[in-house]
Amino acid sequence: PPATPAADEALLERRTNAYDALQSHYYEAPPRIERGWKEHLISTSGRHYLDMVNNVTSLGHGHPVVAETAARQWRRLNTNSRFHYASVAELSERLLAKVPDSFDTVLLVNSGSEAVELALRLAKAFTGREDVLCVHESYHGWSLGADAVSTSVSDNPRALETRPDWVHIADAPNAYRGRHRGEGAGAAYAADVVRQLQRLHDAGTPVGTFIAEPRNGNAGAIGTPPGYLEQVYAAVRGQGGVNICDEVQMGYGRLGRHFWGFEEHGVVPDIITMAKAMGNGHPLGAVITRKEIAAALAGEGSFFSSGGGSTLSSRIGVTVLDVIEKEQLQENADAVGQLLSQGFRELMDRHALIGAVHGMGLYQGVEFVRDRQTLEPAPEETRAICERMLELGVIVLPTGDRQNILKVKPPLCFTEESARFFLAMLDRVLAEGW
Ligand code: PMP
């Protein structure tokens, strides 16, 4: 369709009519975007936007090496992993080279939901237990199992009333506004989990699986307090369970200092799930675990995914890892992330609305509160700030159960210049008021 305002509006109406409304779109009146380059999105009216939300297109939009690789592989061959070709072995080895030595096996799928679904099945098959412990304010995917362990009420307002019996929920270990705050919060939250595990054990429903992100991405990159994962992982294992670390959002170099989020905590999970950044937007997901855990699934038949580990997906997966290393994108996330953190702290000195800055590297969350004592969330302000940022050329969105946190997770090629522009626009909007 042509790119006039009337045509763009008509196109949006066609979408509304034909595409299920549950799959909502950003903004009431979204710009029509048909092109992107690095951390920039370009509307059909020629407007450039800074893309602060694309942690899927992690290498940046329109990456020529990925495009070339995909085109070449498509011309040669794309088939499923029951055939014998190099790229599936290469990607599996490359992934194993990125994780601690205790891991020795990879399963390839096509999305984060699939990775979580498979991880839950593996854990259940291995432990022989159905019960799962997850944490409040989390999102792990849309499929039956992944949805069951998703507790975020911003994604599903009825989430907490509608979880199946086998799902148990621990407090979100939020040291800023949760039940336990400040130093010692990690140990206090972990002690709560230990008691909860004991109660479930005594009730005859012992937990087989613990699943959590290493930082709660959906809640706004909220840090898991020190000591928490170490103590919870030990307690879960102590009663015969396994720990799944969902790295779909935090992993793949985004945190800058660490390639995986669990490294921040000095822990090693039993099962790792990943997706999003793995394919730079090409659908790719993976589960990494130990052979003894994967072998348990054999009792339920074979595992096969038609698209998972395909010639094309695996080749793209290898290329994405190559580009992350060649372009030093993890190092970039660290450097530009520090500039952003510093910038947010400076803004916090001047703007009372900023209550806290969460996260690190290129996954950060700027939390807006009406009062720094009561921590009253500021969702309307957050929404208005996002709308005004769009007018100024920045795509940034609210997240979390209270919708009062700006999620900052641009492509990893994000430059210092773009970071400065983002900080300047945020400063301007906060100074203008809303
Ligand atoms: N786990 C986490 C932590 C996620 O953030 C998401 C998606 N936002 C998923 C799993 C599901 O991934 P997908 O959308 O690729 O199915």
* Atom of ligand 1 minimally distant from the CA of 247: 3
Predicted local distance difference test score (pLDDT) of residue 206: 98
CA of 249 to the centre of ligand 1 (A): 7
Lowest average pLDDT, out of 135-139, 299-303, 385-389, goes to 299-303
> Which residues does a 6 A CB cutoff place in the pocket of ligand 1?
111-113, 116, 139-141, 213, 217-218, 246, 248-249, 275
CA of 292 to the centre of ligand 1 (A): 26
The three-state DSSP-derived secondary structure of the chain is: CCCCHHHHHHHHHHHHHHCCCCCCCCCCCCCCEEEEEECEEEECCCCEEEECCCCCCCCCECCHHHHHHHHHHHHHCCCCCCCCCHHHHHHHHHHHCCCCCCCCEEEEECCHHHHHHHHHHHHHHHHCCCEEEEECCCCCCCCHHHHHCCCCCCCCCCHHHCCCCCEEEECCCCCCCCCCCCCCHHHHHHHHHHHHHHHHHHCCCCEEEEEECCEECCCCCEECCCCHHHHHHHHHHHCCCEEEEECCCCCCCCCCCCCCHHHHHCCCCCEEEECHHHHECECCEEEEECHHHHHHHHHHCCCCCCCCCCHHHHHHHHHHHHHHHHCCHHHHHHHHHHHHHHHHHHHHHHCCCEEEEEEECCEEEEEEECCCCCCCECHHHHHHHHHHHHHCCEECEEECCCCCEEEECCCCCCCHHHHHHHHHHHHHHHHHCC
Start-end ranges of CATH 3.90.1150.10 in the chain? 31-59+328-432
Complex confidence, ipTM: 0.99
**64-326 maps to CATH 2.160.10.10:** no
Question: Each residue of 140-158: pLDDT tens digit?
Answer: 999 999 999 999 999 899 9
What number of other Cβ atoms are within 10 A of residue 292's Cβ? 11
* Atom of ligand 1 minimally distant from the CA of 116: 10
Q: Of the residues 211, 248, 313, which should be mutated to test ligand 1's pocket, given the most ligand atoms within 8 Å of the CB?
A: 248
Partner residues linked to 394 by β-bridges: 50
CA of 234 to the centre of ligand 1 (A): 26
Q: Supply the residue whose CA is at minimum distance from atom 14 of ligand 1.
A: 112
Superfamily classification of domain 31-59+328-432: Aspartate Aminotransferase, domain 1 (3.90.1150.10)
CA of 150 to the centre of ligand 1 (A): 10
**152-169: average pLDDT:** 95
CA of 315 to the centre of ligand 1 (A): 22
**195-199: average pLDDT:** 98
**51-66: average pLDDT:** 97
Q: Of the residues 113, 222, 260, 407, which should be mutated to test ligand 1's pocket, given the most ligand atoms within 8 Å of the CB?
A: 113
pTM above the 0.80 mark?
Answer: yes
Measured CA to CA, the distance from residue 253 to residue 326 in angstroms comes to 13
Predicted local distance difference test score (pLDDT) of residue 299: 84
Predicted local distance difference test score (pLDDT) of residue 117: 98
> What's the sign of the alpha-carbon dihedral 47, 51, 56, 57?
positive
* Atom of ligand 1 minimally distant from the CA of 142: 16
Measured CA to CA, the distance from residue 213 to residue 272 in angstroms comes to 10
Q: Supply the residue whose CA is at minimum distance from atom 4 of ligand 1.
A: 140
Start-end ranges of CATH 3.40.640.10 in the chain? 64-326
